[in-house]
């Protein structure tokens, strides 16, 4: 499925190993193929993203080895779905 | 702390209430009216650019203790001109799918209380209705990222539930 943040997610994945050594547990701010720093909290990263890019898509993602699993039973059994 | 109690009763013929109605709660589930707002930070940016801030969208939310994260009907997030700030992959019967994550502000009108959420998952809730008279569309599933801040009591035999925040 196409996602507005495909480019950012690929960029994040490509650099995750490197960032884990320097910025583990920080929140990365990524726009396009640009890295705009790390922040201690999600809120700080989000506010920095809005200040810099305005109301545009950008990626805020925690730099962790194993990402927490999200459970959506309603999604899993098809009661709700994701639009493509 | 704000406390909201929602009771279901079997009405008497004269319109007065009588005994608790567990089947009413069974049919409707723990639902409440919510407003979905543009988060304050984005509203400030829109205002500073001279752009209108979209009006809040209202609808019915269903409390879903099975969902890690709160889900909102994605077209509503688009109406609010919100953009994704993350993504998460979830398992479905048809294999893994990617969900966009959005910032959002939820206001629980019955509680007089609002929460700025870092992220909600954008999903398709089309066709999900609550059997009220008239039926109403479900626009959000309240997940554990909201419930982690609340006390939630579901009393099936009593036909009521309580949310304290």
Report ipTM for this prediction.
Answer: 0.87
Residues of B in contact with A69 (CB under 8 A): 68
Instruction: Give the mutation candidate from B42, B48, B86 for the A interface (greatest A CB count, under 10 A).
Output: B86
Q: Which member of A4, A49, A70 has the closest CB to residue B100? A: A4
CA of B54: how far to CAs of A1, A34, A57, B43, B137, in Å?
A: 28, 30, 17, 9, 20
**Per DSSP, which regions of chain A are E strands?**
27-31, 34-39, 59-62
The tens-digit pLDDT sequence of chain B (165 residues) is: 889 999 988 877 777 767 888 998 998 999 999 999 999 999 999 999 999 999 999 999 999 999 999 999 999 999 999 999 999 887 777 778 888 999 999 999 888 889 999 899 999 998 888 887 788 899 999 999 999 999 999 999 999 999 998
Three-state DSSP at A23 gives helix
Q: Do A3 and B87 touch (CB under 8 A)?
A: yes
What is the pTM (predicted TM-score) of this model? Answer: 0.90
- pLDDT of A69 > 90? The answer is no
Q: Do B42 and A55 touch (CB under 8 A)?
A: yes
Q: How far apart are CA B135 and CA B89, in angstroms?
A: 32
Q: Which member of B42, B86, B125 has the closest CB to residue A50? A: B42
Which helix (DSSP H) or strand (DSSP E) does residue B28 occupy? helix B22-28
Q: Do B86 and A61 touch (CB under 8 A)?
A: yes
- Is residue A11 very low, low, confident or very high in pLDDT (cuts 50, 70, 90)? very high
- The pLDDT tens digits for A34-60 are 999 999 999 999 999 999 999 999 999
Instruction: Give the mutation candidate from A28, A43, A61, A82 for the B interface (greatest B CB count, under 10 A).
Output: A82
| Residue-wise burial string across B44-70, b where 16 or more C-beta atoms lie within 10 A, e elsewhere | ebbeeeeeebbebbebbbbbbeebbbb
Three-state DSSP at B130 gives strand
- pLDDT of A70 > 90? The answer is no
Residues of A in contact with B122 (CB under 8 A): 82-83
Closest Cα of chain B to A18: distance in Å? 20
Of A71, A61, A70, A68, nearest to B84 (Cα)? A61
- Is residue A1 very low, low, confident or very high in pLDDT (cuts 50, 70, 90)? very low
- pLDDT of A32 > 60? The answer is yes
Supply the pLDDT for residue B136: 86
Supply the pLDDT for residue A77: 66
- When the pLDDT of each residue in chain A is averaged and rounded to a whole number, the result is 90
């Amino acid at each position: 499925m196409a996602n507005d943040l495909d480019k950012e997610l690929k960029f994040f994945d490509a650099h995750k190993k490197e960032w884990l050594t320097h910025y583990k547990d920080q929140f990365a701010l990524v726009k396009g193929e640009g890295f705009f720093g790390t922040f201690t909290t999600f809120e700080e990263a989000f506010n920095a993203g809005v200040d810099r890019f305005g109301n545009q898509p950008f990626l805020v993602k925690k730099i962790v080895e194993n990402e927490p699993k999200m459970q959506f039973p309603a999604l899993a059994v098809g009661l709700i779905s994701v639009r493509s | 702390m704000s406390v909201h109690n929602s009771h279901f009763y079997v009405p008497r013929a004269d319109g007065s209430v009588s005994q608790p109605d567990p089947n009413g709660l069974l049919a409707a589930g723990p639902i409440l009216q919510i407003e979905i707002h543009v988060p304050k930070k984005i509203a400030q940016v829109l205002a500073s650019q001279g752009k209108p801030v979209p009006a809040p969208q209202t609808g019915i939310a269903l409390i879903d203790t099975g969902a890690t994260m709160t889900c909102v009907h994605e077209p509503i997030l688009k109406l609010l001109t919100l953009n994704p700030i993350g993504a998460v992959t979830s398992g479905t019967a048809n294999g893994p799918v990617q969900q966009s994550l959005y910032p959002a502000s939820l206001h629980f009108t019955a509680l007089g209380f609002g929460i700025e959420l870092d992220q909600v998952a954008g999903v398709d809730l089309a066709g999900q209705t609550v059997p009220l008279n008239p039926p109403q569309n479900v626009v959000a599933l309240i997940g554990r990222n909201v419930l982690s801040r609340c006390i939630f009591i579901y009393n099936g035999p009593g036909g009521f539930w309580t949310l304290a925040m």
